[in-house]
Structure 1
Amino acid sequence: MRTLGSISIALSALWANKLRSVLTILGVVIGVAAVIIMVAIVEGFKGRVIKEFEGLGSSLIIVYFDPSEASKRAGLKISGLTLDDARAIEAQCPLVKRASPEIGVPGKASYSGRDMDVQIRGVVPEYTTTRSVRVARGRFINNRDMDEWAKVVVIGSEVEQKLFRDRGLDPVGQDIKVNATSFTVVGVLERKGRAFDEDYDKAVYLPLTSAHKRMLGGKWVGVIFAQATTPDKAEEACDQIWRVLMRRHGNRPDFTVDTQLRVMQAVGRILGILALVLGGIAGLSLLVGGIGIMNIMLVSVTERTREIGIRMAVGAKRKHILMQFLVESATLSGVGGTIGIAIGCAVSWAITQFVGDRLPAHVTLWSMALAFGFSVAVGLFFGIFPAARAARLDPIVALRYE
């Protein structure tokens, strides 16, 4: 009963000083809310990246231009990746089912007085398989388009919406200008959204050969997406691709070959570290809140010295006084943590609703439990000194205090 009485007295004291209590917990509220929001954003982004990679398939292999620092310093000729590299991968790597090179640059698409900013992508027919996109109407790029450098284009759903649909027009068969060059629309992709900072719906897709010859010049590609024959052969397929490209590039490692799993694991590690760093930075405000709690509790001990003396005079033991002030500090931080979690969840929900795929936020149970537990621990830690000071008071001296 003594312990329950100490808790009751502690809660009554906090309720009697509501404004002071609210101001005291502000630091804890802000700290916990910041931790929840930061971790939610990182976890949301991590979940989106993993989902995007899984959507591409576990047999995916990514080859991208990546000249080594040693090659740059040595002044070696850097060749880059080409369409011929992709064809060599398909021809010389038995464990590779297909290879899809692509290149992308920003540009403009226009039709009948309307224009919009788009991503111009030079692709090959295998793009629909390696990137898991589907054609809603018409057709995609084919091998004949590639051979003839055809002036044809496939458009994303938002390009169709802005240039054609709100006019009631079917884009298939219409001529549009891409960076002032005329192309005939042969297909429209289904809505897919964003992935890896690429918006499929705001893109136009040209035959890779047409993009090179008619618009971009050169013969380089930015990335090659390859598919292993089976997911369990992806690592061996990587080794085959590496050997083929090293022979073609004169033993210059100006490229990187990674499986989907490797890239996913690397991204997961980076985002995990980022979550810890951001959470730690936000957690500093919790420590500031804890210092605020300690200051207020010290003031409270001074103001209630006579009350402490009376309680001791009527039989309260030092452990009960200690319990009372520890409960007060833990309650302050616990209430602050609860409010902070509520605010953090609300802000994370708002971010998801209003920003969407660009900045997803996913609140996890572990982040809420960690933030709440840490806030209570901070309250207890910073409440120990004021509580011990109150418990050590001499009851005779305390009764004489005015």
Structure 2
Amino acid sequence: MSIYQSIKMALRSIKSNKLRSILTMLGIIIGVSSVIILVSIAQGSAKNVTSSINQLGTNLLTINTFGTDLSLTEDKIDQLTKLNGVKAISPVVSGRVNVKKDRINSQVSLTATNATYSSVRDAKVTQGRFINDLDIEYRQKIAVIGSETASTFFGVDNPIGQYIQVDGTSFKVVGVLASKGSSLGQSGDNVIIVPLSTGQRLVKSTSINQVYLQGKSQDQMDFVMNEVERKMASLYPNKSDSYSVTNQQDVMDTLSSVSNTMTMMLGGIASISLLVGGIGIMNIMLVSVSERTKEIGIRKAIGAKRRDVLLQFLIEAVVLSSMGGIIGILAGIGFGKIIASLMNLTIAYSTSVIVLSFIFSLLVGVVFGVFPANKASKLSPIQALRYE
């Protein structure tokens, strides 16, 4: 008997027991769709986190010192700027300030920095301009505000050239930042950026405890980090516990490792339902062998070989699992989009995951179909014909 005829007989057998076949495939459908949905959500979340980190800036090192006695002075920052592989450096003084405009009052994150902050942290402006060196030199009371801050205090009006009160001091708005959304749980849009010299007055502190440093290229970041760590060790001898140098790529690698582990764990959990579905296929195929014992006896009596019977029942199991796999893929993609829209999640479908889940469903059909098929092929024609 040809493979084509065996497939036709398998489909005819499935069609004659529709409800039983659907219930048998249900385990495979749930298993495949679960794998696709859970893994896609995990990969989407990982992609979202990576995107959020990239929004912080590219080729980025962050230097933090702890305590006012270890603040980074202008002279020390200049020494860091001269290191090999360093493209730009941006000192930062941050805090929370009370911003007021007419009757609107709100707490906003303050960042006091220099002109290079725009390139180091990839802070683009959609309206107006960013702060410049002259603003810092002359202690100008100007501000660049985030898109959320602009919406809160000015609505649909153009904020450029208008004034806001920052802790009781009037500041002129000269620019509006492009929206960045949330990054690592913090909003990047509810901010106000002022010149470093002006901001130090606002927070009543001249201490600089944080510096962002941008490398010239991604390939040189390990070298640049080593240079920075050696320079910091010479600037602060025997005080390595009082400062930290963080590489953005290291953070991304750590988060990627965690995300990959979570993805594998979720995929493994979902795969258990595929195994349960395989047990369902084996159970139904064993019932089918019992029901069709006389049919097997007749076929073997008129010349059917053992491999013909084995192949027929094995193909039935594979057809059931493959149909379940196809429906599971469609269900996984469909339900994944619905869940993503309802729960506001980022979802990223992977062709490799979809293909692997389908192949796994086929393997489940083969593995769990072998035992019933082998049992059917071993039946003696005489015993099968006498079976009641």
TM over 0.5, shorter chain:
yes
Partner of 1:385: 371
RMSD over aligned Cα atoms: 3.5
Q: How does 1:225-374 map to 2 (within 5 A)?
A: 225-254=212-241, 255-350=243-338, 359-374=345-360
1:127 aligns with 2:117: yes
Moved more, 8-17 or 200-209: 200-209
Partner of 1:43: 43
Distance 1:190 1:57, change over 3 A: closer
1:93 aligns with 2:115: no
Is 1:25–1:293's contact at 8 Å kept on the other side of the alignment? yes
TM-score (norm 2): 0.83
Query: How far apart, CA to CA, are the structure 1 residues paired with 2:97 and 2:383?
Result: 82
Q: How does 1:36-115 map to 2 (within 5 A)?
A: 36-50=36-50, 60-65=59-64, 82-84=71-73, 87-88=77-78, 90-91=80-81, 93-102=83-92, 111-114=101-104
Distance 1:298 1:124, change over 3 A: farther
Q: Matched residues, percent identical?
A: 37
The SS at the match of 1:205 is strand
Moved more, 36-45 or 281-290: 36-45
Is 1:61–1:238's contact at 8 Å kept on the other side of the alignment? no
1:229 Cα offset (Å) = 3.9
Moved more, 325-334 or 41-50: 41-50
Is 1:290–1:382's contact at 8 Å kept on the other side of the alignment? yes
Q: Which amino acid in the other structure matches residue 237 of structure 2?
A: G
1:295 Cα offset (Å) = 1.7
* Structure 2 residues without counterparts, runs of 5 or longer: none
Q: Which amino acid in the other structure matches residue 401 of structure 1?
A: Y
Query: How far apart, CA to CA, are the structure 2 residues paired with 1:280 and 1:137?
Result: 49
Q: Which amino acid in the other structure matches residue 285 of structure 2?
A: M
Is 1:90–1:98's contact at 8 Å kept on the other side of the alignment? no
Distance 1:245 1:28, change over 3 A: same
1:155 aligned to 123, 134, 145, which one? 145
Partner of 2:14: 14
1:28 aligns with 2:28: yes
* Structure 1 residues without counterparts, runs of 5 or longer: 67-76
TM-score (norm 1): 0.80
The SS at the match of 2:268 is helix
The SS at the match of 2:73 is helix
The SS at the match of 2:261 is helix
The SS at the match of 1:62 is strand
Distance 1:216 1:278, change over 3 A: farther
Moved more, 339-348 or 200-209: 200-209
Q: Which amino acid in the other structure matches residue 388 of structure 1?
A: N
Query: How far apart, CA to CA, are the structure 1 residues paired with 2:373 and 2:282?
Result: 9
Is 2:298–2:381's contact at 8 Å kept on the other side of the alignment? yes
The SS at the match of 2:240 is coil
1:170 aligns with 2:159: yes
2:188 aligned to 176, 191, 200, which one? 200
Is 1:123–1:206's contact at 8 Å kept on the other side of the alignment? yes
The SS at the match of 1:371 is helix
Query: How far apart, CA to CA, are the structure 1 residues paired with 2:116 and 2:20?
Result: 66
